[in-house]
């Protein structure tokens, strides 16, 4: 597996990748977009930081690419939607640089409060302006934090240690959880009105972009100070400039910008704004942590299929992955069986039954069923990432449920499909942690292996039918590996699931179908 590192990497992560058998790593000097595009066809993974823009145009030239690793948290430099449509996993490393980003926020807040960068520059110019740089204490000042994830929570903890009053706004965290942090949970409107300092710590989404716009800046208390170490587009920079010039906003500390670098930005001309060039994660410890984290995640995915910290696929803890690992194969083969039996499919219902599915994430299993369903019927590449997108494009309805109620097994997956030609139901389980079995096909109970080439022959339950099937296949030089039989309780119909060493020719299938006792013949490959 080939890995391209585009923006450099700390030696600890690089060493991990280079010492892992099965991985080949290239880390050239900084590449421009055209150079990256020219190299991409040869790579299975790329690792980037904030500099490289992974665009849809870039991804069009990456037929082998399986995963994009972002050594950091924000993924706004990656076209996640285009990556998902192409079945490419996108991973980041949330939390690995959280302490560094939080401490940088505090450093900027202290520098902003005491005018440290401006005073430093004044002294470089030979001046001694004690009165020009009168500061403000943080003690008992109110800090409003927008976004109380990992970084925001650390900022809150450190600010409380400095005896600040801390307000928090995060619509995705319940007030009780915010209260545990020692933070007062408030609405955005109240936070704006009460805060002396406002620090941003949310991801960039359609709801948060320009959350500090002209209207919200007008709602802040006079003399407020703004700190942004999160994403540049959280702030309307044009509006912020106006409020800084007017004095309503006393100062701002910016580590991130809507366009980086912010060449020509009028904010650069203001003495009440301090800047750093996107240094939030730039500590020796953070770079080592981030590089080791993304290196480990990329290696685990490429070599073992373990998914952690994916932004476009449900992540699995290693212990959860081990619990559902046997069922992933079962899920894919049940989906594949339905994709071949019930075509075209209009609706899929998946039921997870038994204690094996208690307290484990089921979405990876569901997406595996979808992948199995679509793989036999689509010419394009289908994988766990793009399978839900392809399903939606084809307007196939999806429903899934789970119950701890057992149906004779500690874990059973049932996949029901409805199409223009009728309905079909299949169910399977895993014996002894590794033996995958089909245990139900419509009204037939059985115990059949789910692999290789199989003939599904439904017939009237009359003597001589099985013998005819065996003789016919033999006449066409098709060898039978094994056979599983079942019949309805009424004993009027039966089914044979026959595993073959190779596919039976169309002529053999036609001859079987001509027999008066045979109702249907379908050949599937699992």
Choose, from 201, 278, 440, 499, the residue flagged as catalytic: 278
Q: Which of 82-91, 267-276, 388-397, 480-489 has the highest mean pLDDT?
A: 267-276
Given a cut of 70, whether residue 316 has pLDDT beyond it is yes
Inter-CA distances, 31 with 6, 27, 79, 219, 261, Å:
7, 10, 18, 44, 17
Beta partners for residue 523, in sequence order: 455
DSSP string, 67-111: EEEESSS--TTB-HHHHHHTT-EEE--TTTTHHHHHHHHHHHHHH
Residue 480 exposed, middle or buried by CB count within 10 Å (0-12, 13-18, 19+): middle
First to last CA, the chain: 26
Inter-CA distances, 370 with 314, 338, 390, 487, Å:
14, 10, 9, 29
CATH of the domain at 427: 3.30.1330.90
Answer yes or no: do 360 and 234 share one domain. no
Q: Residue 18 falls within a domain, yes or no? A: yes
Question: How high is the pLDDT of residue 247?
Answer: 97
When pLDDT is cut at 50, 70 and 90, the band that residue 349 belongs to is: very high
Give 172-198 pLDDT, tens digit per residue. Answer: 888 888 999 999 999 999 999 999 999
Examine residue 316 and say whether the peptide bond preceding it is cis (omega within 30 degrees of 0). no
Answer yes or no: do 439 and 460 share one domain. no
- Comparing 208-222, 276-290, 394-408, 436-450, the range with the smallest average pLDDT is 394-408
User: In the annotation, is 115 catalytic?
Assistant: no
Q: Residue 309 falls within a domain, yes or no? A: no
Answer yes or no: do 213 and 324 share one domain. no
Q: Residue 280 falls within a domain, yes or no? A: no
Given a cut of 90, whether residue 205 has pLDDT beyond it is no
Three-class DSSP category at 175 = helix
**In which order are the strands placed within the sheet that holds 142-146?**
184-185, 165-169, 142-146, 197-200, 224-228, 249-254, 273-275
Location of structure tokens 């894919």: 332
- What whole-number distance in Å separates Cα of residue 191 and Cα of residue 146? 8
User: In the annotation, is 515 catalytic?
Assistant: no
- What whole-number distance in Å separates Cα of residue 458 and Cα of residue 442? 11
Six token digits for residue 196: 């002396």
Question: How high is the pLDDT of residue 501?
Answer: 95
Answer yes or no: do 409 and 465 share one domain. no
Choose, from 260, 397, 423, 507, the residue flagged as catalytic: 260
Burial state string for 26-50 with b = 16 or more CB within 10 A and e = fewer than 16:
eeeeebeeeebbebbeebbbbbbbb
Given a cut of 80, whether residue 363 has pLDDT beyond it is yes
Question: How high is the pLDDT of residue 190?
Answer: 98
Answer yes or no: do 241 and 270 share one domain. yes
Answer yes or no: do 263 and 153 share one domain. yes
Given a cut of 90, whether residue 385 has pLDDT beyond it is no
Answer yes or no: do 458 and 490 share one domain. yes
Q: Residue 510 falls within a domain, yes or no? A: yes
Q: Residue 311 falls within a domain, yes or no? A: no
CATH of the domain at 44: 3.40.50.720
Mean pLDDT of the chain, nearest integer:
93
- What whole-number distance in Å separates Cα of residue 10 and Cα of residue 365? 35
Residue 110 exposed, middle or buried by CB count within 10 Å (0-12, 13-18, 19+): middle
- What whole-number distance in Å separates Cα of residue 280 and Cα of residue 103? 8
Q: Residue 43 falls within a domain, yes or no? A: yes
When pLDDT is cut at 50, 70 and 90, the band that residue 43 belongs to is: very high
When pLDDT is cut at 50, 70 and 90, the band that residue 227 belongs to is: very high
Give 11-41 pLDDT, tens digit per residue. Answer: 999 999 999 999 999 999 888 999 999 999 9
Give 324-344 pLDDT, tens digit per residue. Answer: 888 999 999 999 999 999 878
Answer yes or no: do 289 and 332 share one domain. no
What would the mean pLDDT of 77-88 be, rounded to a whole number?
91
- What whole-number distance in Å separates Cα of residue 47 and Cα of residue 302? 13
> Do the beta carbons of residue 180 and residue 210 sit within 8 Å?
no
Last residue of some domain: 419, 448, 477? 448
Question: How high is the pLDDT of residue 15?
Answer: 96
* Helix and strand element counts for the chain (H, E): 17, 22
Answer yes or no: do 357 and 406 share one domain. yes
Answer yes or no: do 122 and 208 share one domain. yes
Location of structure tokens 């449900």: 314
Question: How high is the pLDDT of residue 484?
Answer: 94
Location of structure tokens 């003399």: 223
Question: How high is the pLDDT of residue 376?
Answer: 83
Answer yes or no: do 231 and 194 share one domain. yes
User: In the annotation, is 412 catalytic?
Assistant: no
Answer yes or no: do 346 and 436 share one domain. yes
What would the mean pLDDT of 419-426 be, rounded to a whole number?
87
- The number of folded domains in the chain is 4
Question: How high is the pLDDT of residue 429?
Answer: 95
Q: Which of 157-171, 334-348, 370-384 has the highest mean pLDDT?
A: 157-171
Given a cut of 90, whether residue 414 has pLDDT beyond it is yes
Given a cut of 90, whether residue 96 has pLDDT beyond it is no
Total residue count of the chain as it appears in this document: 526
Q: Which domain holds residue 197?
A: 98-275
Question: How high is the pLDDT of residue 404?
Answer: 84
> Do the beta carbons of residue 159 and residue 166 sit within 8 Å?
yes
> Do the beta carbons of residue 524 and residue 343 sit within 8 Å?
no
Beta partners for residue 449, in sequence order: 437
Q: Residue 396 falls within a domain, yes or no? A: yes
Given a cut of 70, whether residue 379 has pLDDT beyond it is no
Choose, from 231, 292, 333, 484, the residue flagged as catalytic: 231
**In which order are the strands placed within the sheet that holds 493-500?**
480-487, 493-500, 453-460, 518-525
Question: How high is the pLDDT of residue 206?
Answer: 79
Question: How high is the pLDDT of residue 305?
Answer: 86
């Amino acid at each position: 597996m080939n890995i391209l590192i585009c923006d450099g990497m700390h030696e600890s992560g690089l060493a991990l990748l280079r010492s892992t058998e099965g991985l080949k790593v290239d880390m050239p000097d900084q590449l421009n977009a055209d150079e990256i595009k020219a190299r991409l066809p040869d790579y299975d993974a790329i690792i980037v930081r904030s500099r490289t823009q992974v665009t849809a145009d870039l991804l069009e030239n990456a037929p082998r690419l399986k995963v994009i690793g972002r050594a950091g948290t924000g993924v706004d430099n990656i076209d996640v939607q285009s990556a998902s449509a192409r079945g490419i996993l996108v991973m980041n490393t949330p939390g690995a640089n959280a302490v560094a980003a939080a401490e940088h926020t505090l450093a900027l807040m202290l520098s902003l409060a005491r005018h440290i960068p401006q005073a430093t520059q004044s002294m470089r110019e030979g001046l001694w302006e004690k009165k020009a740089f009168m500061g403000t204490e943080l003690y008992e000042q109110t800090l409003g934090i927008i976004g109380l994830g990992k970084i925001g929570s650390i900022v809150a903890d450190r600010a409380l240690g400095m005896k600040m009053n801390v307000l928090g706004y995060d619509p995705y965290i319940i007030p009780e959880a915010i209260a545990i942090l020692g933070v007062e949970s408030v609405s955005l409107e109240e936070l704006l009105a009460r805060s002396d300092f406002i620090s941003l710590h949310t991801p960039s989404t359609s709801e948060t972009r320009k959350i500090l716009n002209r209207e919200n800046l007008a709602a802040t208390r006079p003399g407020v100070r703004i700190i942004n170490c999160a994403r540049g587009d959280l702030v309307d920079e044009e509006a912020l400039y106006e409020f800084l010039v007017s004095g309503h906003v006393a100062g701002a500390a910016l580590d991130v910008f809507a366009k980086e670098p912010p060449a020509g930005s009028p904010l650069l001309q203001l003495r009440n704004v301090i800047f750093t060039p996107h240094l939030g994660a730039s500590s020796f410890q953070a770079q080592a942590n981030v590089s080791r984290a993304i290196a480990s995640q990329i290696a685990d995915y490429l070599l073992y299929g373990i998914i952690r910290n994916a932004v476009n696929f449900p992540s699995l803890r290693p212990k959860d992955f081990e619990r559902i690992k046997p069922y992933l194969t079962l899920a894919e083969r049940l989906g594949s069986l339905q994709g071949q039996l019930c075509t075209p499919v209009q609706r899929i219902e998946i039921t997870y039954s038994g204690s094996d599915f208690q307290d484990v994430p089921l979405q990876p299993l569901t997406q595996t069923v979808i992948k199995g369903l679509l793989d036999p019927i689509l010419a394009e590449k289908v994988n766990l990432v793009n399978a839900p997108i392809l399903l939606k494009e084809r307007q196939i309805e999806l429903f899934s449920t789970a119950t701890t109620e057992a149906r004779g097994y500690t874990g059973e997956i049932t996949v029901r499909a409805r199409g223009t030609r009728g309905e079909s139901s299949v169910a399977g389980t895993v014996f002894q942690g590794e033996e995958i079995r089909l245990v139900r096909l419509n009204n037939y109970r059985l115990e059949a292996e789910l692999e290789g080439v199989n003939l599904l022959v439904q017939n009237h339950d009359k003597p001589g039918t099985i013998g005819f099937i065996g003789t016919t296949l033999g006449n066409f030089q098709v060898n039978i590996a094994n056979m599983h039989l079942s019949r309805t309780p009424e004993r009027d119909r039966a089914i044979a699931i026959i595993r073959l060493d190779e596919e039976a020719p169309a002529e053999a299938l036609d001859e079987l179908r001509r027999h008066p006792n045979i109702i249907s013949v379908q050949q599937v490959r699992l």
